[in-house]
Structure 1
Amino acid sequence: MSAMTPEEAVAHVVATNPVFAVAPTIVRGVTYKAFQNIPGTVHALLDAGMAQHDNGAANYILYEGERWTYGEFAAEVRRIAQVMQGTFNIGKGDRVAIAMRNYPELMALVLAISATGATVVFVNAWWTTQELEYALGDSSAKLVFADGPRIERLLPLVGPMGLTLVGVRDGEAMVEHAYSALQLAASNAPLEVDIDTDDDFAVMYSSGTTGNPKGVVQTHRSAVNAVFSWLMQGVVAPLVTPPAPDAPEPLRPSVLVVTPLFHVTATHPTFLLSLVAGAHITLMRKWNGDEAARLIDAEKVTRFLGVPTQSAELMLAARETGLKLETLDYIGSGGAKRPGAQVSQLAETFPNADVATGWGMTETNALGIGMTGDDYVKRPESAGKLHPPVQELRLLDDAGNDVPLGELGEITVKSPANMRCYLNKPEATAETIQDGWLRTGDLAVMDAEGYVTILDRKKNIIIRGGENIACLDVEGALHRLPDVVEACAFSVPDERLGEVVGACVQLRKGATLTKEDMATALASYIAPFKTPQHLWTQTGPLLRGATDKIDRRALRLACLDNEKAKT
């Protein structure tokens, strides 16, 4: 079979494979290109993937020595969905929160909640009590499934917010309802829920330019269209690069999940995709490069998707242990841009793997731009090309006009995978989505071949190891300190995490503030990963621009230059 171009392969698959048939579809008054024959809801992916998992007999999840077959996982989803419907009267219009580390139960809960017609509310497991209070109040979630550390932070909110907590694993003995006990009470009654593909599936919180995070509302259609866009890539790939006639059968897809499942990078292109791709899932309790290398070797993992820091530490672990990790055929990057120099190093260390990059957002259900293999090695600073076939891309100037090729513009995408709205924020929604086009806040250039290179961000966001941090969130916490007159947060380059938080503050006359004292004082207000790792203090006003606003960029440069001068 002769090789096709990527464009030819996509057109061929769309035209000949009914699973990936695409047609114009009207969603909320806007016409999109959308898949026509895919499952209509997220929980329907479970049954759709049964055949790909040996009709349920295949091992599906490994966690700390525990192994779950796909059939066992599906049975647990059904039981917990029945409990939510029967015991807690959960159904359409309700929102149910999940607050825990990466446990198999988290995966089961995502599908069980969606099966009842309710909306999954993902909360950041690193948040403080105050941050949890905001998200639960914003989402109106009253039922929360949580593990021990999260229950400790949630207990002060139970009375004031009227919460019902269900303890999972080390949280079971801390509250009235225990996850394992509730399962025993499940009936065999079928769920009877009428769920539309455009009903809400989930609320995921994403840091924005405002102090509080925005609740990104994802629908069933948006999530499933993203999943099948990635699934199609596996069908297209052998048409573009046909395997050799004597090539062995490919291994079963196997994914190591190393990023939090409360973020879109882990839920959508790893967990949800695994259902219909027939992939095995290995969950890590906590990231460790050496342990990741051991698991990849032992479990014949084929796919690794993490933040760039994790790719670098996996590479170092492989070199130090001598493990070849020859089963890896994909090493992806999500959440933050990978340093260009790392691309060729990874390709050399893992010659059997396609090193990949990707750009996506919570607002796009993680679908977006990407590239793999030689294309990426040749263009290590680029984000890649738009993933086909349901997305459209424009680069716009501030007035909403398309910019010429090679000129800087804001990445703007139209796709059925786009979010429905920002929860309770109609003005922010209207600013972000116009006529189905989502303005992302990322500034980029595109060349004649369609490769997109991201150069800057319009939003005041710091991306620390894949975790988005709003500068205003950090500044709001700093302003709570009595000796701080004004504060400005910004990114500081970091070799390991890409970026970390830095801050410059004006102190009251005669006051002092050390980095250690600051961290202690901020512990009640923001999660530790948001606390500035670099601190500059001064007694005079912070640098301002022509409009008398703090000039964040100029102040950042001045602080970094000052630091360089000291060294």
Structure 2
Amino acid sequence: MHYAELLKAREELTGPGGDFEIIEAEVLGNRIRTYKNAPPSVREFWLSTAEFADRPYLVYGDERLTYAQSHEQVNAVAAWLADQGVTAGDRVAIAMRNYPEWMLIYWACACSGIAVVGMNAWWTAEEMAYALTDSAPKVLFLDAERLDRLRERPETADKMKIVGVRIPDASADVTPWAEVIAHGGTMPDITVDPDSDCCIFYTSGTTGHPKGAQLTHRGCIANLFNMVYAATSASLATQRATGVAPPEDPPIPVTLITTPLFHVTANNCGAYAVTAGGGTLVLMYRWDAGEALRLIAREGVTAMSGVPVMARELINHPDFATSDTSSLTSLAGGGAQVPPDLVKKIESQVATARPGTGYGMTETCGIITSVSGDFFVDKPDSAGPAMPNFEAKCVDDMGETVPAGQTGELWVRGSSVIKGYINRPEATADSITDGWLHTGDVARIDEDGFIFIVDRKKDMVLRGGENIYCAEVESTLYTHPAIAECCVFGVPDDRLGEEVGAAIVLNSGHSLTEEELRDHCAAVMAKHKVPRYIWFLDDALPRNASGKFIKRELRDRLSSELQSA
């Protein structure tokens, strides 16, 4: 493989005079790595895209907005906000589906130094009320579904102005979106502090209320540079190793956005990267594999990225073989580990697309690592090397660095790490030590600098003193052709502490017994890792708004069934 070429390409690109030159800077009290050539804030980035004027930017159903039209509306939103007295340092919340208006509001706020509060569209009225009280936005943009939930707790919005998006018959206390756009005007002429909050995205957390992570302008721009750098370095290394040059005139990117814009996967990784290339964002009302196939064919989609199960559903869909997917050059997964079998399926079953993944967190404004193409095929269980603005290390429970190749909790430090959590100084102190973010993921780093995420530190099954990594068991289960979806978790056990449990959904037309599945696992893994408890479910596994399986809900429900049996 081309690892020597990759190392050389990385050194050239990030060294003195390189397009992605890395320097050290004092940021928020810590000495960290950052990009020398990065624009200071998201404002400069968005304003630079005006040059794409007549190119299509946002597509939703039959609706289309060019870059010029988008800039005009972004300016109008920014001017309207200024007239409402919303200024730099204030907050504005967005609570809606992935409508085009989401991106327009986001850019308007970012260019005005206003922090966007991304509201989870799946939240209940109580959860919405918590986040609105916690973040205290001056304006709330929402759609009809979120307005109905807000009405359940009307006192929450007493101190904020409400703007209704795609609500034709809103009440008098709701300002119509059309009125905001009709306002017109120009973008306020301000300077945005690179280390001010660009957006606040809430992390789900394992206990209690979600935490509002403060993503800075510096961090969001650094993540964009990471995205572009990852593709550039891999392409350069592959070209040098194979002698095959990339196309001189590559297609303008067209990306299908499959996950919610209130998360970094869709917003910071998907939307930013496409916008930087003057490409098109194709938005969906909700995820549906059949609709995704139709949109790929209709819009000439070049890339689709979502949680791994979405790529699996796309490939497994009955219409896949007869759908035109020839425009696809990348089929990627993020937000969860991509099982190695899925890497192979993408490589073998999607003729024009290469597999890819990025590992990251809300707390790093996007990706920490990235891997694609030949490198991903060669190391399908890897998340790729850390991006150049990060230092990365694996530590033991005492915070001491473990020897190379050994597993430990992954800690990272760099310009993409969040400032902290709003109103949660203790949580910030628990998660960030001297600029080092504790990811909560167990990992190892190999001789090529590639990071392998073994599992979530808190999701390991501890059976009789043995650590069993759920991701490893899931990867083995997915190699069985009958399995469409699976989720592995710990089941309480009086004798061993925990036993391995697995919830399984089978592909249509397939059958499987518990004994057959255990035999399949036992052939490739140690006996103590083979699931003791197996549930075959008729319905799809429960997911959250990002498309990730809700492991806790499954574990609690199925474990309680055992106890009551």
Superposition TM-score, scaled by structure 2 size = 0.79
1:200 equivalent in alignment to 2:197: yes
Q: Paired residue for 1:157, among 153, 156, 171?
A: 153
Shift of 1:458: 2.5
1:108 equivalent in alignment to 2:104: yes
Alignment correspondent of 2:512: none
Shift of 1:228: 0.9
1:135 equivalent in alignment to 2:134: no
Distance 1:246 1:223 in 2: 28
CA deviation string 1:468-497 (max 9, x = no partner): xxx9xxxxxxxxxxxxxxxx9x99645599
Code of the aligned partner of 1:367: I
Alignment correspondent of 1:506: none
- Partner SS for 2:23: strand
For the Cα contact (< 8 Å) 2:56–2:65, is it kept in 1?
A: yes
- The number of equivalent residue pairs is 486
Alignment correspondent of 2:64: 67
Code of the aligned partner of 1:99: A
Distance 2:282 2:433 in 1: 40
Distance 1:223 1:172 in 2: 37
Alignment correspondent of 2:28: 28
Shift of 1:181: 1.4
For the Cα contact (< 8 Å) 2:369–2:385, is it kept in 1?
A: yes
Q: Which moved more, 1:155-164 or 1:223-232?
A: 155-164
Distance 1:213 1:306 in 2: 22
Alignment correspondent of 1:180: 178
> What percentage of residue pairs aligned between the two structures are identical?
33
CA pair 271-496 structure 1, distance change in 2 beyond 3 A: farther
1:310 equivalent in alignment to 2:298: no
Alignment correspondent of 1:169: 166
Q: Which moved more, 1:268-277 or 1:197-206?
A: 268-277
CA deviation string 1:113-171 (max 9, x = no partner): 12222111001000000000111111112411000000101123333541321100136
Distance 1:292 1:29 in 2: 45
Alignment correspondent of 2:417: 418
Distance 1:209 1:246 in 2: 44
For the Cα contact (< 8 Å) 1:45–1:275, is it kept in 2?
A: no
Shift of 1:235: 2.8
Distance 2:372 2:250 in 1: 18
For the Cα contact (< 8 Å) 2:88–2:113, is it kept in 1?
A: yes
1:221 equivalent in alignment to 2:218: yes
CA deviation string 1:194-225 (max 9, x = no partner): 32111111110001133100110011001101
For the Cα contact (< 8 Å) 1:90–1:116, is it kept in 2?
A: no
For the Cα contact (< 8 Å) 1:95–1:119, is it kept in 2?
A: yes
Shift of 1:300: 1.5
CA pair 416-491 structure 1, distance change in 2 beyond 3 A: farther
Shift of 1:15: 4.0
Alignment correspondent of 2:119: 123
Paired residues for 1:45-444 under 5 Å: 45-51=45-51, 53=52, 56-86=53-83, 88-162=84-158, 163-170=160-167, 173-174=170-171, 175-188=173-186, 190-242=187-239, 244=244, 247=247, 249-317=249-317, 320-387=320-387, 389-444=388-443
Distance 1:4 1:533 in 2: 44
CA deviation string 1:428-486 (max 9, x = no partner): 1111111111111111122222222222223469999xxxxxx9xxxxxxxxxxxxxxx
Code of the aligned partner of 1:121: V
- Partner SS for 2:366: coil
CA deviation string 1:90-110 (max 9, x = no partner): 012211100000011000111
Shift of 1:192: 3.1
CA deviation string 1:478-531 (max 9, x = no partner): xxxxxxxxxx9x99645599xxxxxxxxxxxxxxxxx9xxxxxxxxxxxx9799
- Partner SS for 1:173: coil
For the Cα contact (< 8 Å) 2:133–2:156, is it kept in 1?
A: no
Distance 1:30 1:534 in 2: 40
CA pair 531-428 structure 1, distance change in 2 beyond 3 A: closer
Code of the aligned partner of 1:193: I
Q: Which moved more, 1:307-316 or 1:172-181?
A: 172-181
CA pair 21-199 structure 1, distance change in 2 beyond 3 A: same
Code of the aligned partner of 2:235: P
For the Cα contact (< 8 Å) 1:39–1:48, is it kept in 2?
A: no
Distance 2:11 2:379 in 1: 25
CA pair 7-202 structure 1, distance change in 2 beyond 3 A: same
Distance 2:201 2:246 in 1: 45
Shift of 1:67: 1.0
CA pair 302-76 structure 1, distance change in 2 beyond 3 A: same
Shift of 1:417: 0.3
For the Cα contact (< 8 Å) 1:293–1:318, is it kept in 2?
A: no
Distance 2:501 2:29 in 1: 40
CA deviation string 1:526-548 (max 9, x = no partner): xx9799457659xxxxxxxxxxx
Code of the aligned partner of 2:26: I
Q: Which moved more, 1:292-301 or 1:449-458?
A: 449-458
For the Cα contact (< 8 Å) 2:89–2:115, is it kept in 1?
A: yes
Alignment correspondent of 1:553: none
Shift of 1:379: 2.6
Distance 1:137 1:390 in 2: 34
Shift of 1:321: 4.6
For the Cα contact (< 8 Å) 1:445–1:454, is it kept in 2?
A: yes
Distance 2:506 2:278 in 1: 33
In structure 2, runs of 5+ residues without a counterpart are: 461-469, 475-488, 490-497, 508-536, 538-548
